[in-house]
Amino acid sequence: MRPRRIDHIDNPDAPGVNSIVPAAAVAVTNDKGRLLLIRRSDNNFYALPGGTQEFGESLVDTAIRECKEETGYEITVVGLVGIYTNPKHRIEYTSNGEVRQEFAIVYSAVLLAGDAMTSIESPEVVWVDPAKIDVLAMTTSQRLRIEHYLNRSEPYLG
Amino acid sequence: MRPRRIDHIDNPDAPGVNSIVPAAAVAVTNDKGRLLLIRRSDNNFYALPGGTQEFGESLVDTAIRECKEETGYEITVVGLVGIYTNPKHRIEYTSNGEVRQEFAIVYSAVLLAGDAMTSIESPEVVWVDPAKIDVLAMTTSQRLRIEHYLNRSEPYLG
């Protein structure tokens, strides 16, 4: 069975946290005002491009690398959408029993270059009209981040 | 020998990174405009109060808890000074060989209540006139964070 990612949000029966791993994500729109999203292969939900920090890179560099790997696009970070560290959001990995507490920093970015390219982790890369995001399958945490990107002027600090 | 913390900053001979652990710190001034600092017992340098995130708490709650533990003061977070994830800043712990890459989020805060109280980790708790910070022994990373708190209007993103 393919390893899966299960997001437990405000679930009192979620397994206990045993890890915190910083991740970065990016919110970027194109010249038509459409938002860049991927569909994740590990849970089939739509999400902002992003992933976990590796040793030797800054978190901004994580955001740039993950966006390139998952979407094919080169971006540059221009601002901060928010810092998401809700301990009631737990991410369970069925492959190894890891249960991570949410730790994601979402940056706003602008598009520099590139063409859409899928990956094993992101079998769909799409530009979505913000008015049509409601219908996409997505965790509540992703919806919150996107809503903050579209509507807040100050970074969300949790 | 007492375990020590050694900050390697831009040191090509620093040991390789084997860990990333999110930490929070707070910058808070009192009604005389003095900045709250501690002297750390693990390296004898002055620093903003702060420490690493525990399972089950948000990073803002980490900042509040660490400030209370290290200084005796209750604070509330009001803004973001910056996100510090420089991979060329490595923190070596002599007790166990851990080499952490810098990962700190610095919040601005306001004082709510409390009286100065030292701890094993913070044998000095001081309110310092910003004009007199130059003479205090401090890592360059701490100086940068304080300079950003005092002089920047936008959060530092690295």
Are B102 and A73 a contacting pair, CB within 8 Å? no
> Whose CA is closest to B41, among B101, B110, B106, B120?
B120
CA-CA distance, B69 to B66, in Å (whole number)? Answer: 5
Reported ipTM: the value is: 0.94
Nearest Cα residue to A144 out of A99, A82, A68, A56: A82
Domains and CATH numbers, chain B: 5-149 (3.90.79.10)
pLDDT single digits (tens) A2-23: 678 999 999 999 999 999 999 9
Cβ contacts of A107 on chain B, cutoff 8 Å: 157
The per-residue pLDDT for B41 is 93
Structure confidence at residue B3 (pLDDT): 73
Find chain B residues with C-beta within 8 A of A20's C-beta.
21-22, 53, 55
Helices (H), A26-157: 59-71, 140-151
Cβ contacts of B7 within 8 Å, gap of 6 or more: B43, B89, B90, B91, B139, B141
User: Chain A partners of B105 at a C-beta cutoff of 8 Å?
Assistant: 83
Pairing mode, strands B19-20 and B99-101: parallel
Q: Using the Cα atoms of residue A93, residue A47, residue A101 and residue B21 in order, give the sign of their dihedral.
A: positive
β-strand partners of B127: B36
- Average pLDDT for residues A43-55, to the nearest whole number? 97
Residue A23, pLDDT score: 98
Element (H, E) at B148: helix B140-151
- Flag if B83 and A77 touch (Cβ within 8 Å): no
Q: Contact A22/A103 with Cβ under 8 angstroms?
A: yes
Task: Determine contact: B141 vs chain A, CB below 8 A.
Answer: no
CB distance B107–A157 less than 8 Å? yes
pLDDT in tens, A78-124: 999 999 999 999 999 999 999 999 999 999 999 999 999 999 999 99
Is A18 an 8 Å CB contact of chain B?
yes
Beta strand residue intervals within chain B, DSSP E: 5-9, 19-20, 23-28, 35-39, 46-47, 50-52, 73-84, 89-93, 99-101, 104-114, 124-128
pTM: 0.96
Spatial separation of the C-alpha atoms in residues A150 and A48, rounded to whole Å: 13
Q: Mind listing the pLDDT tens digit for each residue in B77-113?
A: 999 999 999 999 999 999 999 999 999 999 999 999 9
Q: What is the mean pLDDT of chain B?
A: 96
pLDDT value at position A4?
87
Test the B interface: residue of A55, A61, A75 with most B CBs within 10 Å: A55
Give the whole-angstrom CA distance, residue B91 versus residue B100.
5
CA angle A117, A121, A126 (to 5 degrees): 45
CA torsion, points A37, A40, A45, A51, in degrees to nearest 10?
-70
How far apart are the CA of B98 and the nearest CA of chain A, in angstroms?
13
Q: pLDDT at residue B1 above 80?
A: no
A107 - beta bridge partners?
A: A26, A80
H helix and E strand count, chain B:
2, 11
Sheet strands (E) in chain A: 5-9, 19-20, 23-28, 35-39, 46-47, 50-52, 73-84, 89-93, 99-101, 104-114, 124-128
Classified as helix, coil or strand, A32 is coil
